């Protein structure tokens, strides 16, 4: 009968091979369980459990190789050539609410936002006979409804409008 001790002193509970540990100790005569426990770091017959601790390298001693250009945060270190650097970059806390990105223009068919028109002008357009162009943030359904007012009563043109994405609608009918 072999006496097995856990790597965790004082452990009480179930262990490998349904061994029941009490105060970190269990006994068995099953050679397979004994071999497993020996390889897993348990102590066998009074030998101290072998606890392997992984060697963590000291980061001050690790040498690194930089591949490509080093990363730079435009919110912390803005430069004149930065495209749309964050507002208040380099002047305020880069993690605070005073520094924020104005947004990048979308790729492909995503247009940049036009300046918002005052609510009075938008209301006047809505009240007039001419359909008011929706704001960019409007839903695709609103853009499709507006686009349908800009095309003739041609079923093919209506079908084309119904298939277009919001970005395509803004590009074609937003200007």
Indicate the DSSP class of residue 22. Answer: B
Could you tell me if residue 149 is inside a domain? yes
Structural domain including 167 reads 119-173
CA distance 103 to 112: 9
Could you tell me if residue 64 is inside a domain? no
Q: What is the mean pLDDT of the chain?
A: 77
Please identify, among 29, 44, 59, the residue that sits at the C-terminal boundary of a domain.
44
Could you tell me if residue 53 is inside a domain? no
Could you tell me if residue 11 is inside a domain? yes
Q: In which residue are the tokens 């359909």 written?
A: 131
**pLDDT tens digits, 89-102:** 778 887 777 777 76
**pLDDT tens digits, 123-139:** 555 555 467 788 888 88
Q: Tokens representing 36?
A: 């497993």
Could you tell me if residue 15 is inside a domain? yes
**How many residues does the structure list for the chain?**
175
Q: Total structural domains in the chain?
A: 2
Whole-model pTM: value is 0.31
Cβ neighbours around 145 below 10 Å, total: 14
Three-class secondary structure of residue 4 per DSSP: strand
């Amino acid at each position: 009968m072999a006496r097995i001790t856990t790597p965790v002193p004082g452990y009480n509970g179930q262990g490998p091979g349904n061994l029941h540990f009490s105060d970190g100790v269990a006994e068995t005569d099953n050679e397979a369980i004994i071999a497993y426990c020996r390889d897993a770091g348990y102590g066998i017959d009074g030998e101290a459990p072998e606890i392997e601790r992984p060697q963590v390298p000291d980061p001050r001693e690790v040498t690194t190789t930089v591949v490509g250009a080093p990363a730079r945060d435009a919110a912390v270190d803005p430069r004149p050539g930065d495209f749309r650097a964050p507002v208040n970059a380099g002047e305020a806390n880069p993690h605070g609410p005073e520094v924020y990105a104005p947004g990048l223009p979308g790729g492909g068919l995503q247009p940049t936002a036009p300046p918002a028109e005052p609510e009075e002008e938008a209301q006047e357009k809505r009240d007039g006979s001419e359909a008011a162009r929706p704001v960019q943030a409007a839903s695709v359904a609103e853009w499709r409804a507006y686009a349908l007012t800009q095309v003739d009563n041609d079923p093919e043109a209506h079908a084309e409008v119904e298939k277009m994405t919001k970005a395509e609608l803004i590009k074609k009918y937003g200007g």
